[in-house]
Structure 1
Amino acid sequence: MIRLVALLVLLAQPVFAQEVCRDLNSGLQTIHPFKAAIPCLSDDQLKRFFRGNTLFGVTRRTEPTRIGFPGGIGPRYSAQSCAHCHVFNRKGEVPRSPNRAIGVAVALLSLEATDLLGKTLSPYATDLPYGEGRLLTADGAVPHYVIWETNPSAAEYAVRMPMALTGLGLIENVEEEIILELADPDDLDGDGVSGRVSRTANGQVGRFGWKAQHASLVGVTIFALENDMGLTVFESLKLICKSNLSCDAPNSGEAIEVEKAELALLVDYLRYLSAPSDVPSAEGFTLFKTTGCAACHIPSLPTKHPANGARVSIPIYSDLLLHDMGPALADPASVSPNTASEWRTAPLWGLAATLRLAGELSLMHDGRAKTLSEAILAHDGEAHNARQNFLRLEASARDKLLNFLKSL
C-alpha cells in the first residue's frame, strides 16, 4: 500500500496546454517498431537520430569508418557493431536447438577470472585466432560457454542477453524521486515485496541494465563500447586490457577510438527511440494485479518526453528497482554475493511487438525461458507469492493473464 499511495501521488499531473506534443509512438505497427524514432522530435533532433542510427550499424574495423570517425576494434570484442547484438533493437534470442552458437549474448565473468580474460568473455579477437570462447546452447539447460583460452572449470560466468532498446530516453527521464518513493527495502507494508534502489559508484540511482547498474544512457553506452567492443572512449580514456598480454596489442594504447561527437550521436539515437505502440488488452489486467504481478511490474510511471520535456506517463510495467528473485536465479558474476539473486524488474512493454516480429520469446536475463509461463515459473524470492497465485489460477484465467501479457 505504501508503494501504491506514493505512486498515485507522483502520477498526479497538472493540466497542460494541448499544443505541447506528448506522443510516445506513431500508433502504427511498423515493420521494425523498435527502430522507429519517437514523435515530437525537432528537425535537428531527427537528423541526429538518423546519424546515430548510421553509427549504430557501422561495422568497425581497425581503419577509420567510412563516415569520418576514428576506427578501431578490440583487441578482444563480442561484436564489430552495436547492431550485431541488438538486432532490430529487440531483445536477443536464443536458438532452440542444442549446440548452436549464440552470436548476440555476452558472458560476464566472475571476479576470479577478470585478471585473465577481463570483465567479459570475448568470442572475437585481433590477437587470437579463435577469440576467448563461444556461447553454445545446451539441450534443456541454461546457455553455456565453451572457453578456449583457459580451463572451463576455472571461471564462473553469467550469460546476458541483449536488452530491448525500447523507450530509453523516457526511462532516463524518470526522476530519481519516483524510483526512491517506490522502494521499500525493509518491506514496511508487509506484502513480501521489498524493492531496493540500485546506486552507481557515484551515488546516482541506477535504472539501465539487468542489475540497474547504470544511471544514464551515456554510462551504459560507454560500458558497452568498452567492454563489448574493446574500444577506448574519449570520456574515460581507460585502457581496455583483456589480459596481461594484450596491453601490447595495436589498439590497446590511449588513442581515442570513439570521439566525443560520435558518442553523443549514439546516445541521442538511443534517447530518441520510440516506445511500443500496442494497446494492451483490457481483459486479464485485473488478474495481473490480483496475482501480485503489478507489485513489481508497475503498469505506468511518470516521466518527461525526451524531445521537449513535456510530462507524460509511460506504460513500462516496471518499478526499475532491484528484487530478490531467489537462489535459482543467483548470478555468479555479481560483485557481491548479497546481490547475486537481485535483478531489476524487467519492463514488459514491447512483448506484443516482439512476438509479432520474431514469433517466439527468449525471456529472463539469459534467455532461459521460451514462454511467458516458463518465465513466471522461474520467479521466486520476492515473487514467490505471485508465482504461486499464478499456479492456482484455473486454466481459463491463466490464459487470460497470458494473453494480456502478450498484448503489451
Structure 2
Amino acid sequence: MLSVALLSGVSAQAQARTVPAFSEQELYPGGQATARRVAQRTFIHPAGNVPTIQQLDFWDGFSFFRDPWVASPAITKDRDGLGPLFNARSCKTCHNDGGRGRRAKDGELAPPALLFRLLKTNTWGVDAHYGGQLQPNAVRLSHHTLSKPVLGEGNVRVHYETIQGYYPDGTAYSLIKPSYKIEQLSYGSFEADTVISARYTPAVYGMGLLDAISEQDLFAQQDIADEDQDGISAKYNLVTNIKTGQPSIGRFGFKGLHATLEQQIAGAFVNDIGITNPLFSQETCTNVQHACKLAASIDPKGTLDIPKKLHDLTTYMGQILAVPKARDLSSDKALQGRALFYQLQCHVCHTPSYITTKDYPVAALQAQKIYPYTDLALHDMGEGLADQGRENLALGSEWRTPPLWGIGLQQRVQGYQAFLHDGRARTIEEAILWHGGEADKTKHRFMGLSTNERNALIYFLKQI
C-alpha cells in the first residue's frame, strides 16, 4: 500500500506540519450561531445566539419559505403572484427541510429540485425563446384577455449511464453519469448555441454566515495564474451587486452567480416561483411567450408580487438559518480522517475556517469563527463535470467550491442523499471520485489510500 507521503510527493515530517491541531471550536461550525441541537428531522433552526424576540421574525420568514404560492388574483393577498411560469410553488419544494430535494431517478422527468439553466457556449447570455432557466410549469387562468393558455416551457427526462472503475488496490466502485433529454418544448427550439446546465438545489443552512465573510478575506485566496505553483487556480466570478450596481464576488450559486444572499433569494423567487420582488421586478416572460406576458398583466395590484417587508422577512430567515453542530470529531477515526483531509490537500479549495466581519447587518453573525470548508471560488473540475456553457466569468468546467458543513447529515435528516451540482453522486465517496481538473491529483491520492484510510477520511467529512 502506498503511503500518503509517497502519494503527495512530500515527506511525512512536512505533512505533519500541514495538519493544524484540533480545536474544540470545530464542533461549532457556525460559531455561537451554530444550532443548539444536532439536526434530527429538519435543518430549519434559527441561529443559536439570536434573541427570542428576533426568532419571531425568523418564523415569520419561514412561513414564506414553507407555504405554497397561488396565481394572482386570489383571495390570499400575501400568497398570490405565482408564475406565470415557474419551477415550484414554494421554496420548501426544492429545499426540503432546509436541505436538498429528492434527486431524479433513471427514466423520470426531472423533479422540481433539479432545474436547468440555459447558457451560451461562447458568451454570457440567455436563450431568446426561453430565457435563462427552463420553467416546466405554468399557471392556469381564465380571463377574457387570454385567448390561449400559458404553457410551461418544457420538460427534461433524466437517464444515467453506469461507469465501472477500480482503486489501485483492486477495490471496485461504480459511478453514474447523467444525460438529459428535452421533451415537449412549447416555444420552438433552443437557439443553436444554447446549452442546458443541470442544477440540483443546495442545502440553505449557514448561508448568512457565508454572506458575512469579507471580500478581502476571499480575494486573498485568489490565485488565477497559480503563482504558488500548487496546481490550484482559485478564481472568483465577478458579478453585479443588484443593489449597489458595483462588481462583487459571486459567492452564491454553483457558478457564483449572485453577490449577496439577498440577491440569491430574490433571484430564486423570480426564476423558480415567478415571484417579482424589490431586486427583480420584471417577469421572466420572453418576447415569444405572448400568453405569459398577458397573464402577467392581469394582476390588478400593479405592484411587486412580494413587497419589501415580506422580502426582508424571508431574507432574514435565510440569514440566520443555523448550521448544524459537528458530531464525533474528536474520535480516533475522525482525527485520522481529518489529518488525511489536510495531507491530501483537500483544504486548499475547501478552506476550513474564517472569522466573519464585525459590521455584518445581523449582529448574531458578526465576528464569528466559522468552519464552512469552502473558498467560495471557481475551480476547473475537469471535463467529466463540465456543462460547456458560460456564466459571467465562469467557464463550463469551472464550479464554485461548495461548503461541506453538515454534509454527513443528509441521509439522517432527510432519508436520502445526493451530492455535486447535479446530484449524480450517491455518496460522498462518489463525489470525490468525480473530481477532475485541478482536483485530479488529490483524487488520485485519495484512490491510493488503503480502504481503512479512505473510510476514515469519509467518516471525518460526515462529522463536520
User: Does the alignment reach a TM-score above 0.5?
Assistant: yes
Q: Corresponding residue for 2:445? A: 389
Q: Does 1:166 align with 2:166?
A: no
Partner of 1:121: 134
CA RMSD of aligned residues (A): 2.8
**3-state SS, counterpart of residue 142 of structure 1:** strand
| Secondary structure of 1:225's aligned partner | helix
How many positions carry a matched residue from both structures? Answer: 392
Equivalent positions of 1:35-46 (< 5 A) are: 35-46=44-55
Aligned residue in 2 for 1:135: 156
| 1:375 alignment partner, SS class | helix
Tell me if the contact between 2:94 and 2:101 (Cα under 8 Å) persists in the aligned partners: yes
Aligned to 2:289: 245
From 30, 34, 37, the counterpart of 1:28: 37
Q: Is the 8 A contact 2:136 2:153 kept in 1?
A: yes
Residue of structure 2 in register with 1:367 after alignment? 423
Kindly report which structure 2 residues correspond to 1:318-333, keeping only aligned pairs within 5 A, or say none.
Answer: 318-333=374-389
TM-score of the superposed pair, with normalisation by structure 2: 0.78
Which consecutive residues of structure 2, in runs of 5 or more, have no partner in the other structure? 1-19, 21-29, 141-148, 162-176, 241-245
1:146 aligns with 2:182: yes
Residues of 1 paired with 2:297 and 2:127: CA distance?
17
> 1:338 & 1:303 partners in 2: Cα distance?
26
Superposition pairs of residues 32-181 of structure 1, within 5 angstroms: 32-63=41-72, 68-69=77-78, 71-99=80-108, 101-111=110-120, 114-126=127-139, 131-140=152-161, 141-149=177-185, 150-151=188-189, 155-181=194-220
Contact 2:263 2:279 (C-alpha < 8 Å) held by counterparts: no
Structure 1 portions without partners, runs of 5+: 1-7, 9-20
What is the CA–CA distance in structure 2 between the aligned matches of 1:386 and 1:26, rounded to whole Å?
Answer: 32
Q: What pairs with 1:193-208 in structure 2 (closer than 5 Å)?
A: 193-201=232-240, 202-208=246-252
Length-normalised TM-score, structure 1: 0.88
The CA deviation at 1:364 is 0.9
1:297 to 2:310 alignment: no
Kept in 2, the 8 Å contact 1:292–1:385? The answer is no
Deviation at 1:24, TM superposition (A): 2.4
1:123-163 superposed Cα distances (whole Å, 9 cap, x missing partner):
10126576222233313341524331244896521110111
Corresponding letter in the other structure for 1:125: A
Q: Deviations over 1:2-43 (max 9, x none)?
A: xxxxxx9xxxxxxxxxxxx95222442233341111112124
Answer whether contact 1:76 1:242 (CA < 8 A) is retained: no
- 1:104 Cα deviation after fit: 1.5
How many Å apart are 1:244 and its aligned residue?
A: 1.9
* Residues 380-404 of structure 1 deviation map (CA, whole Å, 9 limit, x = unaligned): 1111110111111122211111111
- Once residues 22 and 395 of structure 1 are traced to their aligned partners in structure 2, the CA distance between those partners, rounded to angstroms, is 33
Measure, in 2, the Cα distance between the counterparts of 1:338 and 1:208: 13
Greater RCO, 1 or 2 (C-alpha within 8 Å, sep 6+): 2
- Paired residue for 2:16? none
**TM-aligned CA deviation for residue 65 of structure 1:** 7.3
Contact 1:108 1:159 in 2 (8 A): yes
Instruction: State the alpha-carbon separation in 2 of the partners of residues 310 and 126 from structure 1.
Output: 42
Residue 317 (structure 1) aligned with residue 373 (structure 2): yes
Pair 1:275 & 2:323 matched = yes
Residue-by-residue CA offset, 1:94-134 (whole Å, 9 max, x unaligned): 14443354231110112486211111111101265762222
Within 2, Cα distance between the matches of 1:272 and 1:89?
Answer: 12
Q: Secondary structure at the match of 1:232?
A: coil
Q: CA deviation at 1:242?
A: 3.9
Larger Rg: 2
- Name the structure with the higher strand share: 2
